[in-house]
A and B are shown apart, each in its own frame.
Chain A
Amino acid sequence: MPARVSLKSLKRRGGLFEGIKSNIQALAIGVKYFIDPQRSTLLYPKEYIEHRPGYRGFIVLIKDKCISCAACARICPSAAMKMARVTEVDPKHPDKPRQKQYPVINYQRCIFCGYCVDICPTEALYHTPFQDVVYESLADMFLTLEAFQLEPSRPSVSEGSPVVYEVDEERGLIKRRR
C-alpha cells in the first residue's frame, strides 16, 4: 500500500497586524545598526590586540638564569622543548671549556600551554604578550639557542595602534581603542 500523502498546512502565527509590526521592527533594527554601526572587526596591520599581562605568547629564554635542570623539557606535553648541548667557557676556569645544556624550542610543536614557564625554578623563561609572528619556512620555526634568547620583532606594533576587546552588558563584544 503506497504511503498516503497528506498536505499539512501550518497555522500562521499572529495575524496581519503582527506581521506588519514585526517587519517594521526588523527594518528599524537594521536602520539603527546602519546609522550607528558597532563594528568589531580587527583591521589587523593597522590595529593589534593589546593582551593583558599573563597572556601566554612567545617564550623567551634568559640564558644567564638557566641552571640546566631540564624541567621545562620534561614537562613539555607536546615535546616542543628539547635540551641542546653547548660547549662554552666556564667563568670559574677560563682556560677549560665546559659542556652545558640549554633549552631550545620548536614552534612547529609548541601549543603555548606555558607549563615550561610555570615550572622553571629560576624564572629563566618568560612569555611575550603576542603570538603574531611569521616564519618564512618550517625550518625557521625550530629556534636555535641564540634565536631563543631574542624577543621576536612585531611589525604591527610599530605600524598600528593597540585595541582592546571588552564585553559590554548591552552591546556584546566591543572593540575599544586604547
Chain B
Amino acid sequence: METILYLIAYPPLWQVLILGFVGALLVAMVAIWFERKAVARVQRRIGPYWASPRLGGFMMIVADLIRYATQQVIIPTTVDKIAFLLTPVAVLVVTILPLAFIPLSPHELYWPVASMEYSLLIALALTTLPPLLTAVLGWASSNKFSIIGSLRESYVITAYELVAVLAILAAAASTLSFNIAYIVEAQQPVKWLAILNPLAFLAAFLAVLMSTSAFPFEIPESEHEVVAGPYTEYSGILYVLNMGGGYIRRFIYAIIIALVFLGGWAPYTPGLDPFTGFIIPSLIVLVKASIIVLIMSFLRAVYGRYRLDQALDAAWRLALPLALLGLGWSIVLAYMNLI
C-alpha cells in the first residue's frame, strides 16, 4: 500500500501526467459541459440532455470528443505541412510546461521546485509561450481568416499578457518572494491575497479571461467574424488539440491564481508522507482552480462579445491601471507588514 502510494506520488507521474494531462482534460470537459448547461439555465433552455438524462447530458461532451477523434483530418494542399501538423502538438506540450515549475507541495522531497526561488517568474514566463504558436498556426494555414485570427490574438495577447503578469507579480511584491511555495505559506491560514488585495486579483482574473479567449471574449476565433480564427483549416483531432490547448492554458493560469491569490492549499497544513504532503494539497489547489475555471465559464451567460477595439480599450484604460493599483497596494501591504 505504502509503495503504491509512493509510486502514485512520484512527481512526474502525479503532477504532470495525472494532474496535468488527465486532470486538465477532465477539467476542460467539465468546463465545456458546465458552460453549456449554465448558459442554457440562464437563457431559459435546457442544454445537452438526451445523451444521458441522469448525468445531465455530460455524455454529450464525451460523444463530441469521440466524434472529433474519429473524424477525418483534412490537410489542404496550400498549407505549410510541417508547421501545420506539428504546431497543435507543440501548443499542447508548451501549454502544459508551466506545470513543471509550479510546486503543488511545500516539500522539496516531492517537487524540487518547492525550494526554488523565481518559480513564479519562470512559470509566468512559460505561460506566455503558447500565443506565439498561435501566430504560427495562422501563418501555416495560409488562409485569410487564420491570418486575421492570429493577428487579433497577438493584439489581445500584447494587451492582456502584460496585465496578467503585472497583476500576478503583485503577489511577489507583497510577500517579497518569487517562490510560489513561500507565497502560499505566507498566506496561511486565511490571509489570502484575494481578500487583502482584491484589485490585483480582479485584474489577474480579467486578464486571464481575455488573454485565453474564454468564451464571451473569444475575439481571435469569433465565429461570426472570422470563421474559427487561427483554427479555421483544422479538423478532427488536430482541432481538439488546438481548442483543448486554450482550455488547458486557462486551467494552468487558474492554478497559478489559486496558488498566488486564493492561498493554494492554505487552510490545510500539509504533512510529510506522500498522501497528506503531496496528494491532498495538490487536490485542494485543483479544486480551487476548477472553481475559477467554472466561474470564467459562467460569465459567458452574462456578457456579450467585445469588439477588438473595445477589448484593447478596456485593457489599456481599465485593466492596466487596475493592475498598477493592485501592485501599488501590494507594496503598501508589504511596507505595513500586513502579510
**What residues make up the interface of A, taking CB atoms closer than 8 Å to B?**
26-27, 29-30, 33-34, 37-41, 43
Contacts of B41 in A (CB 8 A): 33-34, 37, 39
**Selected A-B contacts with CB under 8 Å, 25 pairs:** A26-B302, A27-B302, A29-B302, A30-B42, A30-B298, A30-B302, A33-B41, A33-B43, A33-B44, A33-B301, A34-B41, A34-B42, A34-B298, A34-B301, A37-B41, A37-B44, A38-B44, A39-B41, A39-B44, A39-B46, A40-B44, A41-B44, A41-B45, A43-B46, A43-B49
Distance in Å from the Cβ of A152 to the closest Cβ of chain B? Answer: 25
A33 x B42 contact (CB < 8 A) = yes
Distance in Å from the Cβ of A16 to the closest Cβ of chain B? Answer: 9
**Cα–Cα distance between A40 and B40 once the two chains are bound (Å):** 11
Report how many A-B pairs have Cβ atoms within 8 Å.
32
User: Chain B: which residue is nearest A175 at the CB level?
Assistant: B44
Contacts of B301 in A (CB 8 A): 30, 33-34
Contacts of B46 in A (CB 8 A): 39, 41, 43
User: Chain A: which residue is nearest B49 at the CB level?
Assistant: A43
Distance in Å from the Cβ of A114 to the closest Cβ of chain B? Answer: 32
Contacts of A30 in B (CB 8 A): 42, 298, 301-302
**Cα–Cα distance between A38 and B42 once the two chains are bound (Å):** 8
Distance in Å from the Cβ of B298 to the closest Cβ of chain A? Answer: 7
Give residues 143-173 of B contacting A (CB, 8 Å).
none
Distance in Å from the Cβ of B167 to the closest Cβ of chain A? Answer: 18
* Interface-centre pick from B44, B46, B49, B303 (highest chain A CB count, 10 A): B44
Number of interface residues of B (CB under 8 A): 12
Task: Fill in one digit per residue for B33-73: 1 if any A CB lies within 8 Å of its CB, else 0.
Answer: 00000100111111001000000000000000000000000
Contacts of A26 in B (CB 8 A): 302-303
Contacts of B42 in A (CB 8 A): 30, 33-34, 37
Contacts of A33 in B (CB 8 A): 41-44, 301
A39 x B45 contact (CB < 8 A) = yes
User: Chain B: which residue is nearest A38 at the CB level?
Assistant: B44
Given contacts A30-B301, A30-B302, A33-B44, 17 further A-B contacts (CB under 8 A): A26-B303, A29-B302, A30-B298, A33-B42, A33-B301, A34-B38, A34-B41, A34-B301, A37-B41, A37-B42, A38-B44, A39-B41, A39-B44, A39-B45, A41-B45, A41-B46, A43-B49
Contacts of B302 in A (CB 8 A): 26-27, 29-30
User: Chain B: which residue is nearest A46 at the CB level?
Assistant: B53
User: Which 3 A-B residue pairings sit nearest by Cβ, starting from the closest?
Assistant: A30-B302, A37-B41, A33-B42
**Cα–Cα distance between A33 and B301 once the two chains are bound (Å):** 10
Distance in Å from the Cβ of A83 to the closest Cβ of chain B? Answer: 44
**Cα–Cα distance between A41 and B49 once the two chains are bound (Å):** 11
Contacts of B303 in A (CB 8 A): 26
**Cα–Cα distance between A38 and B44 once the two chains are bound (Å):** 5
**Cα–Cα distance between A38 and B303 once the two chains are bound (Å):** 19
**Cα–Cα distance between A30 and B301 once the two chains are bound (Å):** 7
User: Chain B: which residue is nearest A33 at the CB level?
Assistant: B42
Distance in Å from the Cβ of A32 to the closest Cβ of chain B? Answer: 9
**Cα–Cα distance between A27 and B202 once the two chains are bound (Å):** 15
**Cα–Cα distance between A136 and B44 once the two chains are bound (Å):** 33
**Cα–Cα distance between A33 and B302 once the two chains are bound (Å):** 10
Distance in Å from the Cβ of B291 to the closest Cβ of chain A? Answer: 15
